[in-house]
Structure 1
Amino acid sequence: MEGEGEQEEEGEEEWLLESLRLYNDLHLFELHDPTRVIEWTGEKSICVAGYENGRRNEILQLLLPQRLYAKENQGLCPERDFKVEHGGFSDHPVYMLKHVPKTRLLVTSGPSDGSLQVWHVGQDETDVIKPLYTVNTTQGEEHCWAKIATAFSKSAWVLHGLRVSDVQVTEMESRRTIFVAGSTNTDEVATLEFLEEAAVLACGMKGQLFLADTRQPQGLLRVAEDAHVSEALPGQSWCAGVCCGPLPSSGDRRLVARLSSAGRVMLTDLRNPARPVKMAQCCVPTGGLCGAGFLSVSFAPLLGGHLAVSGFDGTVRVYDTHNWVPSVQDAKPAFVHKGHIFSGAGKAGVAAPVVTTHAWHPSKPRTLLSAAGDGSLHVWDWSELCAAS
């Protein structure tokens, strides 16, 4: 086992040396507890939260180090100086956390019930993240938790649901239900998103997409038919990510990326959801992958045609989808972040941690944040000139 530890240490050293070529910026941090949420709450701050069962979990709002939001690149700089701006404790494990735009409100969810917790982030005189109230929802199985999305139009809204049939929109100030899904589909929800003020999207664990207009009195969800999901990969779990805006040369199309636990990605234009516009086999899951708990796919907000995939192992893979076609093909990543693999280097017998979540920086095109199950938190900007490694 000693030889194995030495090999891991050598691998870490080689990766750090290689990083001088691969990255414009690379910052390595360690959290006290691992997180499965990275939520932007401002231009310079994020929220993270613990997700362990049977204990109180911290919710923290962290201020990024100044060098991470300075205009010029700062080079390689491993350090641990995120500043805790605000903090609180949750009696539930936090599996999802969303900030409500234009407010100081957070909404969290996690097992073992379907309830939502609403929080207020302290200001000036207090640094406490304080619980305000609970939104009770349909009770689910022990492993289930409500998926959530937030929006602000005339007031703060939260879109939530355990199953497709449970999806609803709650106005947070009045706690009034303003939309209820009329679907009879009992598939567990994997992803919820506001497409615009009145349009919402749900992706079920089986990969089906559901669309709804919250202005419709019936509140019916309609299925975006797509036979490719059930035909190609029956029995797989899925998640989804929505393109934040139109891609270059794509007109006004709204793209949704779906990722399966078998490593397949499908891009669908919601104007014509009957058939994916692009498909690719992005990776082959490792034998140790348990379910689809950490799967994540997201579009780059400022780098057209790029998306990131994580949750299969200790890496985050970035893909350029411009050359993808409607038929399935093996896709080569434009970049692979391997830093979390070496987080436990030198610890004999310790398996490499799985990446639990990732998030794109809102104003730096090739910068991402990623976290893993060992508590490591990385901020990285890959070099435009580097080849995939």
Structure 2
Amino acid sequence: MEEEEEEEWLFESLRLYNDLHVFELQDPTRVIEWTGEKRVCVAGYGNGRRNEILQLVLPPRLCAKENQGLCPERDFKVEHGGFSDRPVFSLKHVPGTSLLLTSGPPDNALQVWRMEPDETDVMKPVTSIPTKPGGEDGWAKMATTSGKPSRVLHGTRTDNVQVTDIETKQTLFMAASVNSEGISTLAFLDEATALACSTKGQLFRADTRQASNLLTTVGQQPETSAPGEQSWCAAVRRCQADASATDDPLIARLSSSGRVVLTDLRDTANTLATAQCCGPTSGLHGADFLSVSFAPLLRGCLSVSGFDGTVRIYDTRHWDPLMPEEAKPLFLHKGHLLSGARDTETPPWVTAHTWHPSRPRTLLSAASDGSLHAWDWADPPAGR
């Protein structure tokens, strides 16, 4: 990017953002996992070397309810750290505990980590949890839940999805599926119901209390409308616990061609809405970093990344289910492109992003150059 374009963006950022913080990690991360209101975990994903796992405390300015003006502590603070002998492609916190789960090549096992008490900053590996082999094994996708005992939903394909008690490593559920498809996303819908999205975009659901252990298809696989539409991932928006909340339980599926398909969990046979959000993924990264996420506190908003060096935010409330259209972003974060290092020929690529759990417009995003951004986007101008 030209220096003039960067200067223009920096000037525009005063209008576009309520807060914008730019940091540099020692190694790039493809995971940003919340472990509390003020803490996140990141981890390296490099092959052939040890990768650092860090728990970071957010800068006080980002945690303040009111603008603090000049703040002496503006950087992330390392609270816990450890080293993994394998790349970390996925990382999940076990709610209500000091445990973390990681997965990554070269096999489908999960690694269990414990963050030691406050008198030490060490993050220690505790044990590992195997995933049943199934087809061409890859690294396991996973999801955790706050229920007791602590459990993890994990697997690589639809015929080896399982639920495991983390403490005892006892298998509590093992999927029975006629088909075997690669898994891109796993989620708990509630304490007993699991959802899987295959790399082909097909949804599967299972009640882990049923003796049949059947993983059943949900709705229809999205029709392929573009040559590059080869990989899919998904996100789930659950109903809020607040009785006054009116959000419907939704699933968003994102394809590598840039298409987003919205489905109501109560009527999965019909598509709620669909839109073209990005151009197809290509080049070095392909579909490796595809990510879609619902805003937890903004009705109708979702975010998309993994196509380039940007994070796009959309308002889905006006998407038409019958007439798919090219969606215009409500906001476009392109700071990774314009504030990244210039000594590489390849522009930075967004590898992960996440919404803050209690600040409606605050997000964290990371890129392949090691940049970590924390940003709070401003309301669009009236009439936009």
TM-score range, shorter chain: over 0.9
Contact 2:157 2:181 in 1 (8 A): yes
Q: Which range moves more in the overlay, 171-180 or 283-292?
A: 283-292
Q: What 5-or-longer segments of structure 1 have no aligned partner?
A: 1-6
Amino acid at match of 2:262: L
Q: Is 2:168 the counterpart of 1:174?
A: yes
1:240-292 deviations in Å (ceiling 9; x for gaps):
00114359999573100000000000000111111210100011135436431
Aligned to 1:67, the other structure's residue is in SS state helix
User: Quick one: distance in 1 between partners of 2:206 and 2:137?
Assistant: 26
1:78-133 deviations in Å (ceiling 9; x for gaps):
98621100000001100000000000000000011000000001112221110000
Query: Hey, what does 1:232 align to over in structure 2?
Result: 225
Q: CA deviation at 1:41?
A: 0.3
TM-score for the superposition, normalised by structure 2: 0.93
Q: CA deviation at 1:383?
A: 0.7
Query: Hey, what does 2:16 align to over in structure 1?
Result: 22
Q: Is 2:359 the counterpart of 1:364?
A: yes
User: Quick one: distance in 2 between partners of 1:219 and 1:232?
Assistant: 33
Contact 2:289 2:350 in 1 (8 A): yes
Give the counterpart of 2:206 among 181, 188, 212: 212
User: Quick one: distance in 2 between partners of 1:361 and 1:310?
Assistant: 16
Query: Hey, what does 2:321 align to over in structure 1?
Result: 326
Contact 1:343 1:352 in 2 (8 A): no
Q: Is 2:182 the counterpart of 1:195?
A: no
Q: Is 2:231 the counterpart of 1:267?
A: no
Query: Hey, what does 1:355 align to over in structure 2?
Result: 350
Contact 1:168 1:179 in 2 (8 A): yes
CA shift in 2, pair 1:287/1:183, >3 Å? closer
CA shift in 2, pair 1:119/1:346, >3 Å? closer
User: Quick one: distance in 1 between partners of 2:213 and 2:68?
Assistant: 50
CA shift in 2, pair 1:143/1:9, >3 Å? farther
Q: What 5-or-longer segments of structure 2 have no aligned partner?
A: none
Amino acid at match of 1:319: Y
Contact 2:257 2:281 in 1 (8 A): no
Amino acid at match of 1:344: G
1:162-194 deviations in Å (ceiling 9; x for gaps):
101110000111111000100132211000000
Query: Hey, what does 1:301 align to over in structure 2?
Result: 296
Question: Aligned pairs, how many?
Answer: 381
User: Quick one: distance in 2 between partners of 1:223 and 1:89?
Assistant: 39
Q: Which range moves more in the overlay, 328-337 or 77-86?
A: 77-86
Q: 5 Å matches for 1:14-53?
A: 14-53=8-47
Amino acid at match of 1:230: E
TM-score for the superposition, normalised by structure 1: 0.92
Q: 5 Å matches for 1:1-389?
A: 8-73=2-67, 81-139=75-133, 144-227=138-221, 229-233=222-226, 236-245=230-239, 253-285=248-280, 287-288=282-283, 290-327=285-322, 328-344=324-340, 346-347=342-343, 350-386=345-381
CA shift in 2, pair 1:77/1:381, >3 Å? farther
Q: CA RMSD in A?
A: 2.4
Q: CA deviation at 1:232?
A: 3.4
Aligned to 1:378, the other structure's residue is in SS state strand
